[in-house]
C-alpha cells in the first residue's frame, strides 16, 4: 500500500503530474529560443516528446482553476498578477502574460509550427488587461499590447495595438476593446474562498468519476471470481466478461456525468456577474466533465442515444436532432428539432474580461446545420433552415434559411439538396432498429476489445513480476504496453477492411448501412488505435505507416499530427508534407444529411497549418503553404509554391 500510495502521488495526482512536466521541460527545453530550425532536428524531437508527455499527464483540468497561473510560472512562463488562464500555456512555448489578462478556453499558444522543411519557433506576448477569446490562434512572434481584445476564433499574427478589438482569420481591427463590457469593476463574489476550495473538489471529482464508473465491473468480477485467485484466472475472467465490463463502465460513466451536470445546472445563471463565483465554477466543472466524456464516451455521440443522454444531463435537444462532440453544452444551450451539429462545434455561452463574466443562451433553430469547428457566441440565435460552415464564427443574429462561412462570417447563396426524407429526417421503424443495433456494436465493440487488452496487459505484467521481480516488471512495462498498442492498431486496421473495405467517392444518406459502418471505423480509431497508441505517436513515422495500412497514399518523411483523416483511401499526402496539430484533412461533408465523399490531396512539401481545414475535392499544390485556421473550399486547387491564409483562403 505504501508503494501504491507513492505511485498515486507521483503519477496520478495533479501536483505529481505537474512536477513531471515541469522537470521534463527544465531538462529538455531550458534554452529554447525563437528562430527557424531544421524540421528533422533534435529540437523538434524534444518538443514532440514534451508535447506528448504533457498530453499523457492530462493537466488540462488545471486550466481555469486558481492554480493555472502557478503551474504556468513553474513551466518558465511570465504570468502577471491577477491573470486568469482558461487555457494553460503549453510547456513547449515561450509565453508571457500581463497582469489582469483573461485567456478563455482552447486558445492555441504553442508558438511553434511546421512549415515545409522548417520548425518555426517564436515568442508570444499577451499584454496586461488583454482578453483572448476561445479558440483563438496566436502565431509565433505575435504581440498583443495592453488592453486589446481578441474575439473567439481569431488568428493573430504580428502586433495588435493596445485598446483595440480584433476578429477574423487572419485577424483585423473591428472596433475598440471593451465596447460591449461594463465600465465599472464587477462586484466581489460572495463566499469567494468557498469557491476556490470547490476547484480542488472539482479536480478530485474528475479523477473519481472513472473509478466510480468501474465499480460495477469490479463487483461483477468479484461475483464470478474463481475459487482460487491468481493473475491468470482473473485475466481469463476479465477476457470472458469483457462485453459486460465494457457495458457496465460505459453506462455507469454516462449516467454519472449526466446526473452531475444536471445537478449543477441551476448554478449556471445568465447575465453579468463576477468570474469567481458559483456560475464560473459550475461552467468550469461541467465542461471538464463533458470534455472527458468526449473521449471516454466518444461512440455515444452521433448516435440514437445522444439526445436522451443529453436530456438526462439537462441539455434541451429536439427530436431527430443529430449531435456530435460539441463543446460547451449545458442548460443554456438548446437545439430545436431536426438540426445537425458536426464534430467539435463550440457553444461559447460565456465570455470573460477584467473580472466580469457574461453568460447568455445559445439557440439553434430547426433543420439547421453546424459544420466542424463552428463557433457560436453568447446571445447567438441560429434561425431555422440555416447553415454555419466549418470553422465559421456565426453571426449573433441572422435570418431563416441563411448560410454562413468563414471568420468573419460571409453570407453565401446556397441551394439545399435534400435527399429522400425517409433516409435523412423521417426514417422508418425498421431503419431505426437497424441503426440502434449497429450503434450498440459501435459503442461496445471497441470498449470490449480495449477491456480485453487491459486484461492481457495485467496478466503479462503480473506474470513477469511474480517470476522475475518488480524491477524487471517495471522494465518490461513499456514493451508490454507498446505491444498492446500495436495489437490495438492492428485490430483497428482489420476492422476497417472487414467492415468497410475501400472508400470510394459518392453520396450516402444519414440513415444508411454505409454511414453506420463508417461510424464503427471512427469509433475503433478513437477507442482502440487512438487511445492505445496513435495519440502518443502523432508526428512520428508510425502515423504514416498506419495511414498507409488503412488505405491512404502517404509519401516519405510526412509530418502528420492529426487523427482527423477518415475516408483513408481518398487521402493523398505527398513526400515531406506537413499536417499540423488539430488540422483536418476532410474527405466528406454532411450538409442536408447527405454524406458526400471526395478526395483530398496535399502535394509534396506542402503545409496545412494548425487548426486549418481542407474540404473534399481539394488539392494543395507542391510546396504550397496554408496558414492556421484557414479553410480550403471544396473544389479548390491551390497552385504550387504559393502561400494562402484565411477562412476561406486568399493569397497571403
- Asked whether 56 and 50 are in contact (CB, 8 A), the reply is no
- The span from the CA of 481 to the CA of 463, in Å, is 14
Buried b (16+ CB within 10 A) or exposed e, 312-334: ebbbbbeebbbbbbbbbbbbbbb
Q: For 205-232, what is the mean pLDDT?
A: 83
Measured between its terminal Cα atoms, the distance across the chain in Å is 60
Is the pLDDT assigned to residue 300 strictly greater than 90? Answer: yes
Q: Under DSSP, is residue 126 helix (H, G, I), strand (E, B) or coil?
A: strand
Residue pLDDT, tens place only, 425-482 = 999 999 999 999 999 999 999 999 999 999 999 889 988 988 898 899 989 999 999 9
Q: What is the DSSP letter of 578?
A: E
> What is the structure's pLDDT at 558?
96
Place of cell 517470476: 467
Q: Rg (Cα) of the chain, in Å, rounded?
A: 24
Give the confidence band of 599 by pLDDT, cuts at 50, 70, 90.
Answer: very high
- The span from the CA of 81 to the CA of 100, in Å, is 6
Is the pLDDT assigned to residue 216 strictly greater than 80? Answer: yes
Cis omega (within 30 of 0) for bond into 170 = yes
- The span from the CA of 600 to the CA of 171, in Å, is 27
- The span from the CA of 412 to the CA of 115, in Å, is 31
Give the confidence band of 58 by pLDDT, cuts at 50, 70, 90.
Answer: confident
Is the pLDDT assigned to residue 409 strictly greater than 90? Answer: yes
**Closest Cα partner for 579 from 621, 532, 535, 611?**
611
Q: For 484-488, what is the mean pLDDT?
A: 97
Is the pLDDT assigned to residue 227 strictly greater than 70? Answer: no
Is the pLDDT assigned to residue 505 strictly greater than 80? Answer: yes
Percent of the chain with pLDDT over 70: 99
Residues facing residue 96 across a β-bridge = 78, 125
Pairing, β 643-645 against β 650-651: antiparallel
- Asked whether 625 and 640 are in contact (CB, 8 A), the reply is no
Give the confidence band of 374 by pLDDT, cuts at 50, 70, 90.
Answer: very high
Residue pLDDT, tens place only, 244-274 = 999 999 999 999 999 999 999 999 999 999 9
Is the pLDDT assigned to residue 190 strictly greater than 80? Answer: no
Q: For 322-331, what is the mean pLDDT?
A: 93
Q: Average pLDDT, whole number, for the chain?
A: 93
**Closest Cα partner for 49 from 541, 537, 543, 532?**
537
Q: For 573-589, what is the mean pLDDT?
A: 95
- The span from the CA of 154 to the CA of 65, in Å, is 24
> What is the structure's pLDDT at 191?
80
Give the confidence band of 196 by pLDDT, cuts at 50, 70, 90.
Answer: confident
Is the pLDDT assigned to residue 202 strictly greater than 70? Answer: yes
Is the pLDDT assigned to residue 231 strictly greater than 80? Answer: no
User: What are 609's three cell numbers?
Assistant: 497549418
Q: If you count them, how many residues does the chain have?
A: 652
User: What are 151's three cell numbers?
Assistant: 474575439
Helix axes 242-264, 231-240, angle to 10 degrees: 70
Residue pLDDT, tens place only, 131-182 = 999 999 999 999 999 999 999 999 999 999 999 999 999 999 999 999 989 9
Q: Where are the alpha helices (DSSP H) in 29-67?
A: 42-57
> What is the structure's pLDDT at 225?
72
Query: In the 3-class helix/strand/coil scheme, how is 519-557 assigned residue by residue?
Result: HHHHHHHHHHHHHHHHHHHCCCHHHHHHHHHCCCEECCC
Residues facing residue 601 across a β-bridge = 572, 619
Residues facing residue 506 across a β-bridge = 597
**Rounded to whole angstroms, what are the CA distances from 81 to 102, 181, 607?**
11, 22, 38
- The span from the CA of 400 to the CA of 376, in Å, is 16
Give the confidence band of 228 by pLDDT, cuts at 50, 70, 90.
Answer: low
- Asked whether 494 and 515 are in contact (CB, 8 A), the reply is no
DSSP secondary structure, 100-155, as one string = T-EE-TT-B---EEEETTEEEE-EEEE-TT-EE-TT-EE-TT-EE-TT-EE-TT-E
- Asked whether 319 and 338 are in contact (CB, 8 A), the reply is yes
Is the pLDDT assigned to residue 39 strictly greater than 80? Answer: yes
- Between 3-7, 195-199, 322-326, 375-379, the lowest mean confidence (pLDDT) is in 3-7
- Between 51-55, 151-155, 224-228, 398-402, the lowest mean confidence (pLDDT) is in 224-228
Q: What is the DSSP letter of 62?
A: G
Tell me whether residue 435 is exposed, middle or buried, using C-beta atoms within 10 angstroms of its C-beta: 0 to 12, 13 to 18, 19 or more: buried
> What is the structure's pLDDT at 198?
93
Q: For 211-226, what is the mean pLDDT?
A: 86
Residue pLDDT, tens place only, 544-578 = 999 999 999 999 999 999 999 989 999 999 999 99
Amino acid at each position: 500500500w505504501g508503494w501504491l500510495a507513492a505511485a498515486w502521488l507521483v503519477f496520478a495526482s495533479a501536483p505529481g503530474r505537474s512536477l513531471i512536466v515541469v522537470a521534463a521541460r527544465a531538462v529538455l527545453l531550458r534554452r529554447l529560443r525563437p528562430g527557424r530550425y531544421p524540421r528533422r532536428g533534435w529540437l523538434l524531437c524534444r518538443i514532440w516528446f514534451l508535447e506528448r508527455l504533457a498530453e499523457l499527464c492530462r493537466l488540462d483540468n488545471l486550466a481555469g482553476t486558481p492554480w493555472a497561473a502557478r503551474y504556468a510560472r513553474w513551466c518558465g512562463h511570465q504570468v502577471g498578477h491577477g491573470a486568469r488562464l482558461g487555457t494553460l500555456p503549453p510547456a513547449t512555448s515561450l509565453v508571457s502574460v500581463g497582469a489582469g489578462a483573461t485567456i478563455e478556453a482552447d486558445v492555441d499558444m504553442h508558438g511553434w509550427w511546421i512549415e515545409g522543411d522548417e520548425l518555426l519557433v517564436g515568442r508570444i506576448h499577451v499584454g496586461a488587461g488583454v482578453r483572448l477569446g476561445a479558440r483563438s490562434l496566436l502565431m509565433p512572434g505575435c504581440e498583443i499590447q495592453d488592453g486589446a481584445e481578441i474575439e473567439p476564433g481569431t488568428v493573430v499574427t504580428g502586433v495588435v495595438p493596445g485598446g483595440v478589438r480584433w476578429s477574423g482569420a487572419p485577424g483585423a481591427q473591428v472596433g475598440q476593446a471593451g465596447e460591449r463590457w461594463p465600465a465599472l469593476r464587477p462586484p466581489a463574489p460572495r463566499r469567494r474562498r468557498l469557491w476556490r476550495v470547490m476547484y480542488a473538489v472539482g479536480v478530485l471529482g474528475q479523477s473519481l468519476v472513472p473509478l466510480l464508473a468501474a465499480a460495477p465491473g469490479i463487483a461483477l468480477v468479484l461475483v464470478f471470481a474463481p475459487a482460487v485467485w491468481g493473475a491468470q484466472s482473473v485475466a481469463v475472467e476479465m477476457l470472458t466478461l469483457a462485453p459486460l465490463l465494457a457495458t457496465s463502465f460505459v453506462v455507469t460513466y454516462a449516467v454519472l456525468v449526466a446526473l452531475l451536470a444536471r445537478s449543477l445546472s441551476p448554478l449556471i445563471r445568465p447575465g453579468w456577474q463576477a468570474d469567481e463565483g458559483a456560475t464560473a465554477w459550475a461552467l468550469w466543472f461541467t465542461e471538464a466533465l463533458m470534455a472527458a466524456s468526449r473521449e471516454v464516451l466518444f461512440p455515444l455521440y452521433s448516435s440514437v442515444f445522444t439526445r436522451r443522454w443529453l436530456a438526462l444531463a439537462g441539455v434541451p435537444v429536439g427530436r431527430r436532432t443529430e449531435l456530435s462532440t460539441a463543446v460547451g453544452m449545458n442548460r443554456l444551450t438548446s437545439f430545436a428539432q431536426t438540426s445537425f451539429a458536426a464534430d467539435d462545434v463550440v457553444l461559447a455561452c460565456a465570455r470573460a474580461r477584467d473580472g466580469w463574466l457574461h453568460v447568455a443562451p445559445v439557440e439553434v433553430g430547426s433543420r439547421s446545420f453546424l459544420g466542424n469547428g463552428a463557433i457560436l457566441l453568447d446571445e447567438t440565435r441560429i434561425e431555422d433552415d440555416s447553415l454555419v460552415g466549418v470553422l465559421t464564427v456565426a453571426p449573433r443574429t441572422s435570418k431563416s434559411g441563411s448560410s454562413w462561412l468563414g471568420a468573419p462570417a460571409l453570407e453565401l447563396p446556397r441551394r439545399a439538396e435534400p435527399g429522400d426524407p425517409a433516409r435523412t429526417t423521417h426514417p422508418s421503424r425498421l431503419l431505426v432498429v437497424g441503426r440502434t443495433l449497429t450503434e450498440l456494436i459501435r459503442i461496445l465493440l471497441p470498449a470490449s476489445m480495449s477491456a480485453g487488452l487491459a486484461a492481457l496487459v495485467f496478466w503479462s505484467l503480473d506474470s513477469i513480476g511474480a517470476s522475475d521481480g518488480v524491477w524487471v516488471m517495471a522494465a518490461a512495462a513499456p514493451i508490454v504496453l507498446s505491444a498492446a498498442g500495436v495489437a490495438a492498431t492492428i485490430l483497428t486496421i482489420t476492422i476497417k477492411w472487414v467492415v468497410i473495405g475501400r472508400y470510394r467517392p459518392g453520396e450516402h444518406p444519414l440513415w444508411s448501412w454505409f454511414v453506420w459502418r463508417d461510424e464503427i471505423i471512427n469509433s475503433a480509431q478513437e477507442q482502440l488505435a487512438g487511445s492505445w497508441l496513435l495519440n502518443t505517436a502523432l508526428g512520428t513515422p508510425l502515423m504514416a505507416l498506419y495511414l498507409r495500412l488503412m488505405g491512404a497514399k502517404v509519401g516519405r518523411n510526412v509530418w502528420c499530427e492529426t487523427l482527423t483523416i477518415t475516408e483513408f483511401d481518398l487521402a493523398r499526402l505527398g513526400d515531406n508534407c506537413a499536417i499540423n496539430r488539430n488540422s483536418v484533412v476532410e474527405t466528406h461533408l454532411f450538409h442536408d444529411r447527405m454524406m458526400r465523399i471526395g478526395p483530398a490531396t496535399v502535394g509534396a512539401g506542402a503545409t496545412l497549418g494548425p487548426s486549418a481545414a481542407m474540404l473534399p475535392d481539394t488539392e494543395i499544390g507542391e510546396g504550397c503553404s496554408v496558414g492556421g485556421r484557414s479553410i480550403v473550399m471544396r473544389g479548390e486547387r491551390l497552385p504550387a509554391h504559393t502561400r494562402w491564409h484565411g477562412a476561406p483562403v486568399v493569397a497571403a
